[in-house]
Structure 1
Amino acid sequence: MKRAPVALPPAEISDEFAFAHRAVVNADGLFRRLGCDADHQAILDVWWRSTHGVYVRFWGPNLLGQNEALLLLALLARAGVLHRDSLRKAHSEERAAQADHLEWLNSAVATTVEVHTSLRQLAESVGLGSGGASLDAVRRSLERLGAVSVWTGRESLAKRTTMQNHQLIKVKLQVDGSLCIALAPLLIDAMLGSRRNNTYVLLSSIVGMPASGYSRMLAIRLSWINPGERGEIGIDRLSEYLWPGRAPTRLEKTKIRAALAVLGQHGWLVKPKEKPSHDVYEITRPMDAGLLAARKRRVAPETPIPSVR
């Protein structure tokens, strides 16, 4: 029996953890720094090598930017609130019965999670406000996310015709004007506690940073660092998070350093390495009460997972 939707205030959604698949956080070019709507007008085609010998390919007619990233995280956070506890038992039983991870991604349990929400609720949860322009921006972002296909297969160079395909999200408008949004199995797998591919992203910690500048995008991409742990990364690699495929300008590097300073003001510990490190930083991700509670609920991985940046 399908669980009835639960209405949650926007504040509760933003305070919940998004259990995000690492492909969403780590895949270069899936989300990038964009300006106006015209900047979205290019083909999206991004590959990610997952665990269990599964390759993931994201394809869509438009590029995705910061708003799309935040909205997807908001949907994952809300899905976790509505479904995680009720489906965890079925999830573990189904996975135990299905040894093939690729088959699991296309099983019945992995394709039945829906999120009930509204344009206004999503706009407020990602810090866009609730005005008409904000609702239009959310609508356009949902259309871009809904146009993305997620392909999973065995080979990195496989043709799409040989891979399994799902929409990243499917948006259905309800009679009362609310939205019913179905998530791709890849997203659900992480949300339900996939043992090797998920990471935690606290939406409120990102929305609390300035909407302008680069700090929000860097915080999303730097979520490969586990809560309370640290990693080392150079300024050139950080620039690839924002503008994959091209070198940053001197001004852009300056703005990245400014964004790192903003992260430092929001609980991240950012320390430049001594020369001759060439702009390499040691970055520690904060561990607050919400992060600690979520970490205690997480299923321990079968084997240690190396950091992937």
Structure 2
Amino acid sequence: MVDKTWFKNDGAGVSLPPIAKFDKTAVLVRGLFRSLDPHAEAPTDRVEFSRTFDEGDVEVTLSCRALLGASDVRVLQGLVAIATDRYRTVAADRLYGRADGSGEARVRVKCSLRRIASVAGLGSPGAGPTNSTIRASLERLCDVTVTWRLEGGPSGQATTEPFIRNGGSAVGHGGVNVTFHSRLEAAILASRKGEHYLKVRMDEARGLGDCARLLHHRLAHMNEGERTPHGRDKLEAYLWGESPSRSADRNRVRQLVGAIKELEGAGWAFEKDEASSIVYITRPRPLAVVASAPSRAAGHSGQSSKV
């Protein structure tokens, strides 16, 4: 029997969550999500990624058997946005369970595939092809493992968790029962000053194409209103996880320019410094903040949408 309460508030007319709160793992690990050639054969060998965070005390290794693409970002963002919305008024210390990878999960998403599609901006919610895309993405995301090693800690000591889990038999009935790894869970529950998370604005993300969606996700490390320099190589690495080959260079430039134009339509600013080939990116502030903020003179001037 399927618990029908899982699907409450999944219907038409229900408001869509405005943000998704992430930890650094799902945003900063280069090459975890990338723009994939739809005609390329998926690799069968295990692919490993590793990254030492800026804090310098934790090494994170992610492992998976297949590369993850834009559809996987959409599904993950949809799940995290649903969780962020459902737990936004719940203080973390009122939820019993793990804070360090052990014990019961404190955050759980039970919802329909239709709800995921609506929140993620994925295909036609409820349609067979959309449901198939979500199920395939869930299978890939559940296959990812996250290993945490504390630098300076006991040799060989590490914590390994699934990136996400999808438990129960609800998938066959059009629903999911998803939990998240402990650090992503902590970011979803973050509410106090000093608790860190990276924010993806779903109202910006839903209408973006594949490359723009991936670039938007990777740029979530920027604070709202922040302006930072990026080289073209870095932007390409955000999308493809590697430096382009000569044969792919022209096509990738075209895709990158297209993604930048889409983000400009969502309020982001891209200004190129012709002298250095550096692109200055400004993340927009929420409309409510912009409306209340004093006007200020424009900063660096340059040419928009040219890489």
TM range (shorter): 0.7 to 0.9
Task: Check the 8 A contact 2:17/2:82 in 1, yes or no.
Answer: no
> Counterpart in 2 of 1:116?
110
Unaligned runs of 5+ in 1: 95-102, 293-309
> Counterpart in 2 of 1:301?
none
Distance in 2 (CA, whole Å) between partners of 1:291 and 1:24 is 27
1:199 aligned onto 2:193? no
SS of the equivalent of 2:285 reads coil
Q: TM-score, normalised by structure 2?
A: 0.78
SS of the equivalent of 1:136 reads helix
> Counterpart in 2 of 1:306?
none
Distance in 1 (CA, whole Å) between partners of 2:231 and 2:207 is 25
Amino acid at match of 2:109: V
Distance in 1 (CA, whole Å) between partners of 2:114 and 2:23 is 25
| 1:221-244, Cα deviation, whole Å (9 max, x unpaired) | 111111111111011110011112
| 1:254-276, Cα deviation, whole Å (9 max, x unpaired) | 3212321221121111111131x
Query: Aligned-residue CA RMSD in angstroms?
Result: 2.9
1:168 aligned onto 2:170? no
- Mapping for residues 1-309 of structure 1, pairs under 5 Å: 7-9=9-11, 14-36=16-38, 38-42=40-44, 43-50=46-53, 51=55, 53-90=57-94, 104-108=99-103, 111-127=105-121, 128-130=123-125, 131-155=127-151, 162-172=157-167, 173-174=169-170, 177-193=174-190, 195=194, 197-209=196-208, 211-212=209-210, 214-247=211-244, 249-275=249-275, 277-278=276-277, 280-289=278-287
SS of the equivalent of 1:85 reads coil
Q: Which runs of 4+ in 1 moved over 3 A?
A: 8-15, 37-40, 194-197, 289-292
Aligned length: 273
Out of 19-28 and 116-125, give the one that drifted further.
116-125
Out of 194-203 and 15-24, give the one that drifted further.
194-203
Unaligned runs of 5+ in 2: 291-307
Distance in 2 (CA, whole Å) between partners of 1:56 and 1:120 is 33
Q: TM-score, normalised by structure 1?
A: 0.78
State the structure with more CA Rg: 2
Change (3 A) 1:226 1:12: farther
Deviation at 1:178, TM superposition (A): 2.2
> Counterpart in 2 of 1:98?
none
Give 1 or 2: higher helix fraction: 1
Distance in 1 (CA, whole Å) between partners of 2:42 and 2:244 is 19
Distance in 2 (CA, whole Å) between partners of 1:77 and 1:166 is 21
Identity of counterpart residues, as a percentage? Answer: 25
